[in-house]
Each structure stands twice: as C-alpha cells, then as structure tokens.
Structure 1
C-alpha cells in the first residue's frame, strides 16, 4: 500500500495555518471595530454639565486623580406615581443624597464618603449642611465647597439622580446585597429587608441605601450602605455576563450614559477608568472609609449636623492629596 499523501493533501496542510491566521486577524479586526464603534457611540451619547468654575485660592493639583461622585435627590423628573413607589415625597428642592470622593493613583483606589449633613462653610452662604451647596448653587458651588473643605483639587465630577440610579440597577438585572444581622426596616424609605444576602432590583436598592431613620447610626450608617451598593453595582457591571454579550452590554451602557451627567472635561476614556477603579473596590483591592466625625450636634436654624474630627480629617485628605494609604477601618 502506498504511503504517499493524496494529491493536494500536502497543499491543504500548508494552507491550514494560513487560514487560522487570517481567521484570527479577521476576529481581531471585528473586535477592534466593535470597540471603536462603542467608544464613539458612547461619546456622542455622553451628557455634560457645568461643574467647575475658576475662583481665587483654588487648591493646586495633587498626586493621582480625584472624582466627586454625587447622587442627586431631585424629584423634578418624577411623576406622582414614581414618587410614591420610590418613597421620596414631593419636595422639589435639589440636594445631594450621596457625596463621595474617589481617589485613584499608584496606590490603588480609595472611596471616601462625605456625610450629607457635614457642617461646613459654603462660599457666600456661611456654614450649613454640605448638601445644601447643591441646592444653593448647583454642581459648581458643591465642587467648590468640597474643594475648600478638603483642600483637594477635584479632577472630575459625575452625578446621577434617583430615577437614573434605579434604571441602572434594573439594566443590570438587579444586584446582590448582604443585609446585616437584624435586617433593615424603615417606613420613611420603604426599606423592609430581612438579614442575609439577597437580590434587589432598582427600587429595592434605592430604598435600602436611603434608609436612615431606623438605623441607630443615622446618616453614618447610610453612607456605609451607599458604598456597599456602589461595590455591588461595580461587581455586577464588570462581570462577563454583562461585558461580553452585546445584547446585555449595549443596553446597560445606554442606560448608564442616560443616567449620568459629567463635567465637560470628562470623556469616555475617563469613565472607563472610573469603572475599572470601582471594579477594584468591589474586589476589595482598595480602601473605603467615611470622613472622621467628632460629633453630631444640633445647630439652631440648621438642625442635626455632622461635625468632622478636624485632625483626623486633615490626615485623611493629606493622604489623598499625596497618594499615600488612607487611614481607614478597612473595606466595607
């Protein structure tokens, strides 16, 4: 029996690696084209707002990059039915329910909660709760207030409102949250959760993070839940089940971009970097904490406020400015 290969077999073997190479090249081109189209599509959809204005004495740049992340409690875009479902009432004022500093540099990300009742100086308006800055002068006054209170120069600003937050969580198919022992029930926010890990849709997640009246820690307990939810959203959003299938990724990105407003100097690349830093935090690679508090007195005409521990707060902000490890009680 002849052992010679059939005519054409040797040529077919030579062509096989070439076909594989061309196939891989075509796949890479398709992936690159898909990524580029997403990039330009996202850039065209990105919504911006004025967040920074020049002013005398503005802090100079520090090491690394600092974001101000804000959750607005504006009810202006909500229907009466949505207000009832979200348990947010009918107040038409503009305040910030969530204020966080995200720093990232060589030492990894750090997420710092600023209690919304922090008693600070608001330029041109005397001392008040920090969340009043947004109501008095929008994002520009809030960013200036945060910069002057912390000594940090902010590089980026991102804001999401109630309804946008709910839509983002729902676009992910919900998130998984572990409720501490004792559960959480708060008639004001609508929270009613037994202890243990459980899935939450957008409305449930909002009720969970807004609860504070039934929490013995009040606003300080709420900021911990806010960081917990941010980590849960980042963990879900950076999972393969969302990132890989276009039919999941594109709707999620569209919903997120519709929910967000960023400063005019922030583009898609910066937002992508923000997402990666959030993913590191959800993987417990970074540090999270709250601005150190000295007390929660009542101020006539203002109400119950949060007063910072000035020495410990300065150490925290100095660490952020110098991109060194922050004093923290650990990830939570």
Structure 2
C-alpha cells in the first residue's frame, strides 16, 4: 500500500515521498525544508540524544493555577515542570548579616543577650548570695568588737531550766562620757560612778515572752553584805555579784547577760532612726534635759534616754519610781521592735549603722553569740508587743524617814512569779502576779 512502510512508493512511480529522509540513494543529500514541496515539510523529529531518559524523571505534582494560592502556571494552564531532583530537607534562609562595625560591641543573636532568662536568673542569684553574705558578715564583724563580761558567779547555782532567761542591766556608768556629753545628756554624776539605773529579766520559752522590771531600790539579801538595795550589788561586785544576788533571791537561773550604757543607749536609738514614746502626761525634767508633751511621738537618742531616766519632774508622773520602770520597759521594747523589724534587714544603711553601734553600746556576758543576741532582740520586741507580757516584780512600797524610799518584795506573790518562770509556764501569769506597778 502506498504510503505504508518505511520505503513505500509515492504513487507516481517517482519514488517515496520520504526519500528525502530515507532516500533511495544512501549517498543522497536530503533537501532543505525550503526546497521541499508545500505540504511536505514535517517537523523535524527531536534527536534521540536530546530526549530525556524516562527513568530519570520523578513524578510531578501539579501546582495550583494563578489565583489558587498565588502560584504561577506554565503554558497551557499547566503547572511548570519541577526540577529533576529535590533536596532532602529545605533549610530556612538566614537574613543577610550586617557587617560588624570596627570597635562596635558584639551583640548577642537573641535580643541583645540581656533578655535571656538564664542570664537574668544568674544575675539575681548572684545578688541574692552577695546580700546573704553581707547580712551574715556584718554582724559577725561587729560582734567580734563587742566587750565580753564575766557574769557567771562561782559556787552553787540553780540547775538548768527550760527556756532562756536574760539579765539586762542599764548601767549609769559615765566613764565613757566627756563632761560636755554628761551635760548634754543630763546624766550628771562623775566619770567614776558605776551603778545600775535599771534591772530587768527577760524570759523566752514555750509561753509568751515575759519582761520583768526589778526596781533598783528593791531590798534583797546580797551575799556577804546583808540586806541592801539590789543596785548596790552591781556597784560593789559588778555583773557577777548582781547575778548571784538575783539567782539566790529568785531561784531563776540567768543564762545570758546584756549591759547597756548611757552613750550606747543613745547610739542605738539613733541608729534605728529613733523610737516612739507615749507619755501619759507631759513631762518636764531639767536635770534629765527632758521636755515632752502628752501623747505618742518620735524621740531621738537623748530624748529617749531622758524619758527612761527621769525622776525629778516638776509635774507629771515622772517622780513615781514605778512609772519610771514602766517607761524603761517601753523604750527598751521600742528599740527591740525597731531592731527586729524587716526594714532593719532590707535597709543596708540602717543595718550597717545598727551593727556598728553595737560594739560601743553594749557589753554581753561570756558565751553569748550572734544568734543569742538575735533571739534577745526578738524576745524584747515580743514581750513589749501584743501577745507578750511585761510587768514589775511584785513589791510593797515603803517610805523611809531619810527622804529616800526602799521597795520591799511581796514574798507570796513574788514566789509564785518565780515558780512560773522557773517552770516555763508564762501562760499561767495573771494580772495579780504580774502587772505594771507590781502592787
């Protein structure tokens, strides 16, 4: 059949119409496309070497046309052909980095570095550790300079008792004051005088903390000296004889000793920023350089000292010795509250001033450490605050013809008070046993 076969006849006897391709003469040169008759110019087949190997092609995924996802389309509306190979995992492109300026500080890749949570945590922890070191180191440094006093008497003493009992002595020694300071503070006296202006017992334990004032004119049996005013024990034999006198008369074992002088008292009050006092009446005492109005008010060191010591007022209750010991408890309790407040720890200036004032302000008994001092301050604040107990030793008041007064202990009520403290049962205290005036 004409036209079928690779070399078929063209129908006119002149040969096949594909002679130009196959040719009747293998040596013949095929005509160019322009030389072939019209209608006999087929497209030249693609050379075999340009055809892609089907085995090298990967399956193609159709792409959405323009308007469906915004992707472009190829010819005929078909998606463009994908590359023959695809990477296993496409990495996200990194933004181009700006060249580093000479001398400019290097920046962290994550928000300048300072926004890293870990770095902030490390900084906070470092500051916290430094603060703890400061809180611990400063008291130990100051405590190393505090004078230690031998107060434990020789010989037989009461056995160990539950709870802790502190003996607090307000010494009116003027040895560390100049003449100008004695005049400014209204202390009077000479530099060599050494007596107890106030005597208190603080007991801390399982019950409410209790602060007991012992009037300095209270008559007691002083070992080796007979009956005399209790403050004379300190004047004669110092802290050891005073401790022995109190232990033998009360049966209470004294565990620690704290002594505060005039100058130290003023320094501590000023170091805590002053204390609040609440006189029930206006008090004016020229000898104590004191002039305060009725009602609660802030007092600096000299004013607080005069308020605690005044006993020669022209009016008011200052000349009452029981009111005097009440004011002493009030001021000492106010100091304890300031010392034990959180602001003392949070304020580094106040904390430093308070600790540095301690060496010149107080002397403590041998064996008393920083922890004991901290418990002492907390106990003073608790005893004079809500929930605590503070009172005067049960006594009877007796006038003496010489113009001075002696204070006699009410033995029955006092013995009950002693037993409660010895047995650490301060929950059992009543107003009849423990009240402000002791009467």
The TM-score with structure 2 as length reference comes to 0.68
Q: Which has the higher helix share?
A: 1
SS in 2 for 1:179: coil
Distance 1:178 1:192 in 2: 13
Q: Deviations over 1:244-275 (max 9, x none)?
A: 12222111111023211011110111001111
Partner of 1:277: 379
Alpha-carbon offset, residue 287 of structure 1: 0.6
The partner residue of 2:299 within 200, 203, 228 is 200
Mapped pair 1:89 → 2:188: yes
Q: 1:217 to 1:315 in 2, by over 3 A?
A: farther
Partner of 2:122: 22
The partner residue of 2:168 within 50, 57, 69 is 69
Partner of 1:149: 249
Distance 2:430 2:345 in 1: 34
SS in 2 for 1:199: strand
Mapping 1:78-227, distance limit 5 Å: 78-91=177-190, 92-180=192-280, 182-214=281-313, 215=317, 218-227=320-329
SS in 1 for 2:418: helix
SS in 2 for 1:45: coil
Partner of 1:327: 430
Q: 1:42 to 1:77 in 2, by over 3 A?
A: closer
Alpha-carbon offset, residue 29 of structure 1: 1.9
Which has the higher relative contact order, 1 or 2, with Cα contacts under 8 A spaced 6 or more apart?
1
Distance 1:315 1:113 in 2: 16
Distance 1:299 1:94 in 2: 26
Distance 1:183 1:234 in 2: 24
Q: 1:282 to 1:293 in 2, by over 3 A?
A: closer
Q: 1:169 to 1:96 in 2, by over 3 A?
A: same
Unaligned runs of 5+ in 1: none
Contact 2:138/2:355, CA 8 A, preserved across alignment:
no
Partner of 1:52: 152
Q: 1:90 to 1:137 in 2, by over 3 A?
A: same
For these two proteins, the number of residue pairs brought into alignment is: 325
Unaligned runs of 5+ in 2: 1-91, 96-107
Q: 1:288 to 1:81 in 2, by over 3 A?
A: same
Partner of 2:87: none
Partner of 1:315: 416
Distance 2:373 2:259 in 1: 12
Distance 1:331 1:284 in 2: 15
The TM-score with structure 1 as length reference comes to 0.89
Distance 1:125 1:321 in 2: 26
SS in 1 for 2:174: coil
Partner of 2:350: 248
Q: 1:70 to 1:299 in 2, by over 3 A?
A: farther
Report the structure number with the largest CA radius of gyration: 2
Alpha-carbon offset, residue 288 of structure 1: 0.4
Alpha-carbon offset, residue 127 of structure 1: 0.7
Q: Which has the higher strand share?
A: 1
Distance 2:361 2:341 in 1: 20
| Structure 1 stretch displaced more, 25-34 or 129-138 | 25-34
Q: 1:331 to 1:278 in 2, by over 3 A?
A: farther
Mapped pair 1:239 → 2:341: yes
Q: Deviations over 1:199-235 (max 9, x none)?
A: 1111111111111234376211100000110121122
SS in 2 for 1:284: coil
Q: 1:244 to 1:133 in 2, by over 3 A?
A: same
Distance 2:420 2:361 in 1: 31
